[in-house]
Structure 1
Amino acid sequence: MLKKFYLLAGAVLGIIYIRGLYIPLMDNDAAHHANIALHMFLTGDFTSLVDQGQDYLDKPHLLFWLAAISYHIFGVSAFAYKLPSLLFSLLGIYSTYRLGKLLYSKEAGRLAAFILATCFSFVLANHDVRMDAILTSAIIFATWQLIAFADTMRWKNIILGSIGLALGFATKGIIGIAVPGIAVAVHLLYQQNWQTLFNPRWLLLPVFLFIFISPVLYCYYQQFDLHPEKVIRGQSNLSGIRFILWSQNVERLEGEKFGSVAKGDPFFFLHTFLWAFIPWSLLTLAAYWKRLKKFIEKKFRYNPEREIVTFGTATLVFIIISISNFKLPHYLNILLPLFAILLAGYLTGPLRNKQQTDLFITQIITACILLVFMIVLNLWVFPVRQWWVIILAMIPAMLYFGFQHEATRVQRIIMLSIATALMCNIFLSFSFYPQMLSYQAGDALADFVAKEHIDTRRIYYLQEHERSNSFEFCSATLLPEIPTAQVAALHQPCWIVTGERGREALINNKVSFKEAKQVFHYRVSRPKVNFLDPQSRVDQLSRFYLLSIEPGK
């Protein structure tokens, strides 16, 4: 019965993920990353990372390489940019299944895969694509392979594990190596398996790892170490290799340049987890609490029937990122597969009747809250415009009610949670996100430029004024900047893409222009309550312009 439900629910889930490929890119991060890959595609330079004409130091190459290659195959589009992340997500979901199967059972592994694939933050990572889907998948793949190697000492596992570590490193640096390393250390120390821990075969791991990360190190060396004269962030003599191996991690831990908004909140990742892992977050807290009590009761003595990989790794990494000063919500994504396996092991294990009842009531309340939230979003904030979206959203509910009569209480908990997640993501993917993104100026301006056949080679930004990453991506061009004072000196007609400050600067410099197009703009990746409220929305909007400049007029 549950297998049939998984099959049908999986088909609906596939529709949601495929739909995400066609949702426009959001400013700023997704479109920003896509434009770095666009520079690779347009110039053919796959060694250098260039952002808005400047050397880009912050993150390694993998996402940009994959996107640029995808542009070559499919053309420059949201589909092409997002597809590599979706393929990696499939690897991450499968790796979660395999690690869950290894640590618990096939049933637990299957459930863990569904938990990961339906939690809010993982779906969002495939709609608003940054580094997270690739990094999360690389980490859980490497963890699975290295735990398997620790248990079997098979050569293929250490080679594949090294590849997984290298993929994580090539996506976001040392964090891609650290998390699987913590998982293996926790696993072997808990078992007190000294023979495996000190097995000389582990010495091959850094050798393989160095070989696989060498392309990234080479690129950093070529772009930065060979050019000490370059000034990056106000500094010269910067070593790219030292940055990616050391300085990047120090910066994030100190929180001075990255993610410092919530550095004074030690509970930031706790309340982030509550919404990021919806609809599974409360169940996971129950599973975590039960596992914690068991370990404390047994004084953390080894029990072959109780794994510590998920609990121990999640706990240590959670503590590290919570006491550090770098705090952004998507940094929690790397732990989601571990939480999924921990919860799956809990739900497929022995549960007393009272526990089952309490968990079922908890999920009914969670489902009701999410349903009310969806009603507010899709009837008041952005009303659903297509009747078929409502019909599609009813399919998960029909699946749940169609199978519940022959299900156990635990199976009802699982099916209710999956059905709720599917229903919410259908409304978000097919109605809410597309309508919200209609307030992103870059897409509308790019459509106008294409329809009017405007030569993109004659379009500029004003230096030190507003830019639109989404406009550049949608028009498949990287715009040069021009100082405001030089616009009047141009000898050929041109166009300027700018915002309200840039338009005002042209007026102050007595530059004549015509408004070819004016559109509303809002940073949709950070929606605020006043924007979501239809009554106050217009007051939250700024304007972007496509201005026509004709010399001598």
Structure 2
Amino acid sequence: MNSLQKKILISLILLSLLPAVSLINADMMDIDSAQYAEIAREMTDSDSYLFIRDNGRKYLDKPIMTFWLVSASFKLFGQNNIAFRLPSLIFALLSLYSIYRITVLRSQSERRGLLASLLYASSPGLLSMLVSPLIDIYLTSFLIFIHHAYYLARKKNANYFYLMYFFMGCGFITKGPIAVVIPGISIGVDLLIRRDWKGILSMKIPQGIFVTAALPLFWSYVLFQEFSWYGPNFFIIIQSFGRFYSFIYNQKFDPLFFVKNFAWAFGLFFVPLAVHVFLRLRQALTGSGDASTSSDAIWKRIPLSLWNYVRSDEFRKADFVIPLWLFLTLSLISFSRFQLPQYIYWILPGGAIYMAGVLDRLLFGGLAEGEKPERMPAFFFYLVPALLLLFYIAIPVVAFDLKGMQWFVYLLCLFPLVLWPVLRRHFSDRLIVPVLSGLVVHLTVGCLIYGLLIFYQPSSRIAETVRRLEPGEEVLYKFMISNSQRSYAFYSKRLTRDIFRKDQFEADLRADGSRLVILSGEGLLNFPGFTGGRYDLEILEEHDAYKVSMPSQAFFNKKKRPGVLKKVYLIRVTLRNP
């Protein structure tokens, strides 16, 4: 790889992050992101960094690490959108470097390292994690750091194992034991199936157990102070393994749920990856890739071929860490009883590193020792770009009426296509077309669609009025507004309270003369009856609202959207004169 190709790949990696950078000051979405921001705000305001509070109440659902990171950013840069997203962006940059280094350490190929970083940077999954940062961006980063430290220990210095175990501990207090389980699947299973006993003994496991367990034990002790034994049990068992295999989290089982979600999260090169897996499996079963071989002959050949391969020196010298990270983890989480799409983020780095090798062999003929060349029709690299083109065209046609500057932004997002004639002099169209089409859609989402979506979450606009008209208050009242909508609390810089007890609300009303209340459309209809008609209501603001974190197909149809929108009101309530 020449220096110009290297510079181009690095530029494409940085350009892939531009949509996320452009959104760094955008309002955050309910539910989870706004909740995490509000928890970190309360942590910062109280200067209490051990006990988690959500809306002033004890919180147990997630461990502490994410809130430490965000609250530290709030402490340094203030409680705002930029400070909330900054830690996730920093972790993403560090992750891209670690992915590059992992790939170089495994393959001794700088080109593969840059390709792997490009695949991860340009994946819709990473953009999603950065647009609306969840705990998974930090967990995924720690998983990447764990594997980076592992390869450093294998290739450079065994003392890096201590760093690997430390990152496991950090991941543990980010989202529980899954931070240890996934490396156990990738690294542990690789060592066991290859019977690499020497490698296992070199990993400083007794010391590693202590290093890994230090942070989880500390956090368990803190939880014990507040929740007795239920706190550590929830942290270690219920909120982790319980989500996957415990009946209390049982959902309708869909074995392809995570495969489908991996398809959109991996995005640009999922179809070539799927075709590659199919072709390699067929080749392995037939022994030559000859599809005409009878099925009876294939099934008779499999056990002996597999047994001979497992016993061979080629197998014992192989490195299955990344394939196990991708394929075995995907298989195991597919049996989960609690299926959330963000779980698929945990294997995206493995997919990027694995696919980088496929692209290197296919597009550049880069073969490491023992690798076989790739053969794949170019057609499969253009299926996803064709879908992305339809997506782009459908935005003004089906989804949103663009006005004024929005049309300019929409057309400006086509800018990456201008680079095509230059880039194709140095790279195959099978690499450039998916990447550039993905960049067009990424820019469209970051610079246009997210803003159009977040318009239907009016919390920051309402909160601005609340802070102006009701300064100094510690509580914002709401009625028939879901507790999951934590952005009202974060942007108003105060706790929120549902009006359940009329006597408490009326006491505040008598003390202050009037109070502001946020109501849903249904709440506005029911509020007079609930309060016995004793108050005068003045509507200050009316907004269209929608749960934009989980939009339906009808929401993206501009003709049907009015039928799914709700109303949110900000009202001033005063006691009615007798």
TM-score scaled to structure 1, two decimals?
Answer: 0.90
Counterpart-to-counterpart distance in 1, 2:66 and 2:548: 22
Coordinate RMSD, CA, aligned? 2.5
| Residue pair 1:5, 1:399 contacting (<8 A) in 2 also | no
Q: Deviation per CA, 1:414-449: give whole Å up to 9, x if none.
A: 222221211110000000010111011212212333
Match of 1:366 among 374, 384, 389: 384
**What amino acid is the match of 2:92?**
S
Bigger Cα displacement from structure 2, 433-442 vs 199-208 = 199-208
Are 1:401 and 2:392 matched, yes or no?
no
In structure 1, how many angstroms separate the alpha carbons of the residues matched to 2:315 and 2:432? Answer: 31
Whole-Å Cα distance in 2 between the matches of residues 220 and 294 of structure 1? 52
1:128 is aligned to 2:132? yes
Structure 2 equivalent of residue 347 of structure 1? 359
- State which drifts further: 54-63 or 248-257: 248-257
1:280 counterpart letter in structure 2: F
Matching residue of 1:235: none
Partner of 1:512: 536
Aligned counterpart, 2:493: 476
- Name the counterpart of 2:264: 275
Matched with 1:231 is none
Contact 1:150 1:184 in 2 (8 A): no
Residues 136-147 of structure 1: matches in 2 within 5 Å?
Answer: 136-147=140-151
The correspondence for 2:234, drawn from 243, 260, 263, is 243
1:122/1:95 CA distance change after superposition, 3 Å:
same
Q: Residue 547 of structure 1 aligns to a residue in which SS?
A: strand
Q: How does 1:324-343 map to 2 (within 5 A)?
A: 324-343=336-355
1:243-271 Cα offsets, whole Å, 9 max, x none, are 2122222320236555x55x321111111
* Counterpart for residue 284 of structure 1: 273
Tell whether 2:436 aligns with 1:435: no
Q: Which residue of 2 aligns with 1:26?
A: 29
By how many angstroms is 1:391 displaced?
5.3
Measure how far apart 1:5 and its partner are.
2.4
CA distance in 1, matches of 2:110, 2:364: 22
Q: 1:381-530 maps to which residues of 2 (within 5 A)?
A: 381-384=399-402, 385-390=405-410, 392-407=412-427, 411-450=428-467, 452-455=468-471, 457=473, 459-462=475-478, 465-467=481-483, 468-483=485-500, 485-486=502-503, 487-489=505-507, 490-491=509-510, 492=512, 493-508=514-529, 509=531, 510=533, 511-530=535-554
Greater CA drift, 129-138 or 503-512: 503-512
Secondary structure of the residue that 2:572 maps to in structure 1? strand
Q: Which of 368-377 and 385-394 deviates more? A: 385-394
In the superposition, relative to structure 1, how do residues 292 and 312 fare at CA in structure 2: closer, same or farther (>3 Å)?
farther
The 2-side partners of 1:370 and 1:288 are apart by 23
Residues in 2 aligned to 1:75 and 1:519: alpha-carbon distance in whole angstroms: 28
| 1:222 matched to 2:239 | no
Cα deviation for residue 189 of structure 1 reads 2.5
Which runs of 5 or more structure 1 residues have no equivalent in the other structure?
226-237
Q: Does the C-alpha gap of structure 1 residues 191 and 54 become closer, same or farther in structure 2, counting only changes over 3 Å?
A: same
2:10 corresponds in structure 1 to 7
1:67 deviation in Å?
0.9
Native 8 Å contact 2:361 2:374 kept in 1:
no
State the Cα deviation string for residues 114-164 of structure 1 (Å, max 9, x = none): 101111011110001111111111011102212432455511x11210121
- Cα deviation for residue 210 of structure 1 reads 2.0
Letter paired with 2:446? S
Of 82, 85, 101, the match for 2:85? 82
C-alpha separation between the residues in 1 aligned to 2:88 and 2:494?
23
1:54 correspondence with 2:75: no
List alignment gaps of at least 5 residues for structure 2: 288-304, 366-372
SS class of match (1:217)? helix
* 1:183 matches 2:186: yes
CA contact (8 A) 1:186 1:313 kept: no
| Other structure's SS at 2:548 match | coil
Classify 1:257/1:30 alpha carbon distance in 2 versus 1 (closer, same or farther; 3 Å).
farther
Partner Cα distance (1:179, 1:339) in 2? 14
Q: Does 1:98 align with 2:101?
A: yes
The separation in 1 between residues aligned to 2:455 and 2:489, in whole angstroms, is: 16
Aligned residues of 1:314 and 1:339 also touching (Cα < 8 A) = yes
Q: Which has the larger radius of gyration?
A: 2
Letter in 1 for 2:266: F
CA distance in 1, matches of 2:413, 2:374: 27
Given that residues 436 and 524 in structure 1 are in contact (C-alpha distance below 8 angstroms), is that contact kept between their aligned partners in structure 2?
yes
How far residue 111 of structure 1 moved from its aligned partner, in angstroms, is: 0.5
Aligned partners of 1:116 and 1:356: how far apart in 2?
21
CA deviation map 1:169-197 (0-9, x unaligned): 12100001111122211332343211121
Give the Cα–Cα distance (whole angstroms) in 2 for the partners of residues 506 and 115 of structure 1. Answer: 52
1:321 corresponding residue in structure 2: 333
- Per the TM alignment, residue 330 of structure 1 is displaced from its structure 2 partner at its CA by 0.6
State the alpha-carbon separation in 2 of the partners of residues 272 and 481 from structure 1.
Answer: 36
How many residues are treated as equivalent by the alignment? 533
| Aligned twin of 2:152 | 148
CA distance in 2, matches of 1:378, 1:223: 52
Amino acid at match of 1:377: I
Q: Deviations over 1:264-319 (max 9, x none)?
A: 21111111111111112112213333554566666253447753112123222112
Q: CA deviation at 1:325?
A: 0.7
Matches of 2:441 and 2:319 in 1, distance apart? Answer: 33
Distance 1:294 1:138, change over 3 A: farther
Matched residues in 2 for 1:255 and 1:93: separation?
34
Q: Return the letter of the residue paired with 1:20.
A: L
Q: Cα offset for 1:6?
A: 1.5
The residue number in structure 2 matching 1:229 is none
Deviation, 1:15, is 2.2
Residues 154, 75 of structure 1: alpha-carbon distance in 2 compared, 3 angstrom cutoff: same
SS at match of 1:524: coil
Query: After superposition, what is the alpha-carbon deviation per residue over 1:194-215, rounded to whole angstroms, capped at 9, x for unaligned?
Result: 1121347222111111234444
For 2:206, what is the secondary structure of its paired residue? Answer: helix
1:548 Cα shift?
0.7
**How much has 1:498 moved relative to structure 2?**
2.2
Q: Summarize the Cα distance change of 1:23–1:180 in structure 2 as closer, same or farther, 3 Å threshold.
A: same
> Which residue type is aligned with residue 235 of structure 2?
I
1:500 partner amino acid: G
Contact 2:91 2:138 in 1 (8 A): yes
Report the identity percentage.
25
Change (3 A) 1:361 1:21: same
Instruction: Check 1:206–1:357 CA distance in 2 against 1; reply closer, same or farther (3 A cut).
Output: closer
Q: Give the CA deviation at 1:390.
A: 4.0
Note the 1:154-165 alignment, pairs <5 A. 154-155=158-159, 157-165=160-168
Shift in Å, 1:488: 4.2
> Which residue type is aligned with residue 489 of structure 2?
E
The verdict on how the C-alpha distance between 1:458 and 1:133 changes in structure 2, with shifts beyond 3 A counting, is closer
Q: Go from structure 1 to structure 2 and tell me whether the alpha carbon gap of 1:539 and 1:80 turns closer, same or farther (over 3 Å shift).
A: same
Kept after mapping to 1: 8 A contact 2:478/2:496 = no
Residues 462 and 498, structure 1, Cα contact 8 Å, conserved in 2: yes
Q: Distance in 2 between matches of 1:85 and 1:222?
A: 30
- How far apart, CA to CA, are the structure 1 residues paired with 2:216 and 2:246? 26
State the Cα deviation string for residues 445-497 of structure 1 (Å, max 9, x = none). Answer: 123334x4432617533476534311221222222344253344531211112
Which 10-residue stretch deviates more, 428-437 or 201-210? 201-210
Which whole-Å CA distance do the structure 1 matches of 2:547 and 2:501 have between them?
25
Aligned partner of residue 550 in structure 1, secondary structure: strand
